[in-house]
Amino acid sequence: MSPPMKDLLSPTRLPLLTERLKLTGLRPTQQRLALADLLFSAGDRHVSAEALHGEAQAAGVSVSLATVYNTLNRFRAVGLLKEVSVDSGRSYFDTNLSPHIHIFNEVSGELYDAPLCLRPEVLEALAPAHTQAVSVDVVVRVRPRHASQEA
Amino acid sequence: MSPPMKDLLSPTRLPLLTERLKLTGLRPTQQRLALADLLFSAGDRHVSAEALHGEAQAAGVSVSLATVYNTLNRFRAVGLLKEVSVDSGRSYFDTNLSPHIHIFNEVSGELYDAPLCLRPEVLEALAPAHTQAVSVDVVVRVRPRHASQEA
DNA sequence: ATGCCTGCAAAATATTTGCATGTAA
DNA sequence: TTACATGCAAATATTTTGCAGGCAT
């Protein structure tokens, strides 16, 4: 007996998100619109599938975890998201599509962004023969000062 | 009825590997010595737990996958290996301990090394207040030229 | 002899897939 | 109407853990 999912999106953002999905060739379904709203309406975000699922539930959106995974993978496939491998065993998805550096606090789990200044010709020069560079992922792992050595 | 594991290691490498493990505080057990031999006797390597387990089996070394995981984690904990997050959902361990760049071919799965030139003060400057940089991981993802867009 | 190490299996975690049903075009 | 999307559950995949027995010191 929950309200229709569309009512959870503001009339301002709904048409924009709908258009954005259509441009990628993805159908603007209710679940995709709701997840897109959570992802793209609040600045740059780094989320795990589990975390996004939790946010959706909290927002009253009915969506299964499998659909969250499928949606994140589709969004990545069409270039709406980047996947970040900062911690093996768990995937994070990043709404910041520009080349940048991830600062990962190994103790708190926080993930910050920092700008990356890398001339395109340098990136291309790194690719071995007969390959082209697709992206560069930089992760700087930090700890609180004076913390112990081991994870 | 397999031969003693020690016999699989050359008399030249055995004492070196034994000493290396002792220096880290790890007991030089047969399984650890055999895995260390596979890891450290052939230049820089990038291996997954599963792959290393397979190599050990092929070499006639009796070792369980759980022990491979435990051993890789211990080796990393004492600084003999670095862990690489190039592909979420699977861990790779790297015997090259110096700061460097990973060139990852997304299509073939190959992983190459490239030197990283980064002044230490630049790395430190990236760490937010009250944190210190522990390491920097750079992964350049490449594809064969003219390959399609999607993973 | 003591305490760390191993093997096995089971548990824990993370992600993908099959299929019947639902929904956008 | 037709093809694509969703939900659910089960299947996969990866890694960790508990415990009885083994081995290095």
Mean pLDDT, rounded, for B79-94: 88
Highest mean predicted confidence (pLDDT) among A115-129, B23-37, B83-97: B23-37
Rounded CA-CA distance A94/A114 in Å is 13
Q: What is the pLDDT of residue B7?
A: 53
Mean pLDDT, rounded, for B56-69: 91
Q: What is the pLDDT of residue B79?
A: 93
| Single pTM value for the model | 0.84
Q: Identify the CA nearest to A37 among candidates A5, A76, A73, A79.
A: A5
Percent of chain B residues past pLDDT 70, beyond the cut = 89
Q: What are the tokens at A55? A: 């946010």
Residue–nucleotide distance: B64 CA to C8 C1' (Å)? 8
Near-strand D residues (CB closer than 7 A): A 26-27, 29-32, 62-64, 66-67, 70-71, 74, 88-89; B 22, 27-30, 48-50, 65-66, 69-70, 73, 89-91
Confidence of residue B3 (pLDDT cuts 50, 70, 90): very low
Mean pLDDT, rounded, for B85-111: 84
Which of the pair, B121 or B73, is modelled with greater confidence? B73
B18 pLDDT exceeds 70?
A: yes
Q: Is beta strand A131-144 parallel, antiparallel or unpaired with respect to B82-87? A: unpaired
Q: Which residue is nearest to nucleotide C16 (CA to C1')?
A: A66
**Tokens 């258009």 correspond to what residue?**
A19
**B150/A77 CB distance under 8 A:** yes
Rounded CA-CA distance B100/A138 in Å is 11
Q: How far apart are the first and last CA of chain B?
A: 46
**B145/A123 CB distance under 8 A:** no
Residue to test with chain B: of A131, A132, A148, most B Cβ within 10 A: A131
The pLDDT tens digits of the residues spanning B108-146 come to 777 788 888 788 888 888 888 888 888 888 888 888 886
Helix ranges restricted to H, chain B:
13-24, 30-40, 49-58, 65-77, 120-126
For residue B101, list its beta bridge partners: B114, B138
Q: Is beta strand B100-105 parallel, antiparallel or unpaired with respect to B131-144? A: parallel
- Side-chain-side CA neighbours of A22 within 13 Å: the count stands at 6
- How many CB pairs lie under 8 A apart between chains A and B? 113
The Cα of B29 is separated from the nearest Cα of chain A by a number of Å equal to: 22
B4 pLDDT exceeds 60?
A: no
Q: What is the pLDDT of residue A150?
A: 43
Q: What is the DSSP letter of A149?
A: S
B17 pLDDT exceeds 80?
A: yes
Residue to test with chain B: of A88, A118, A124, A139, most B Cβ within 10 A: A88
CA angle B56, B57, B59 (to 5 degrees): 65
Q: What is the pLDDT of residue B115?
A: 84
Q: Do residues B28 and B35 touch, judged by C-beta distance below 8 A?
A: no
Does residue A69 approach strand C to less than 7 Å at its CB? yes
B95 pLDDT exceeds 90?
A: yes
Q: What is the pLDDT of residue B151?
A: 40
Q: Do residues B67 and B31 touch, judged by C-beta distance below 8 A?
A: yes
Cβ-based contacts of B122 with chain A (< 8 Å): none
pLDDT along chain A (151 residues), means of 10: 54 90 93 95 90 93 93 95 85 90 80 83 85 88 69 39
Rounded CA-CA distance B84/A103 in Å is 16
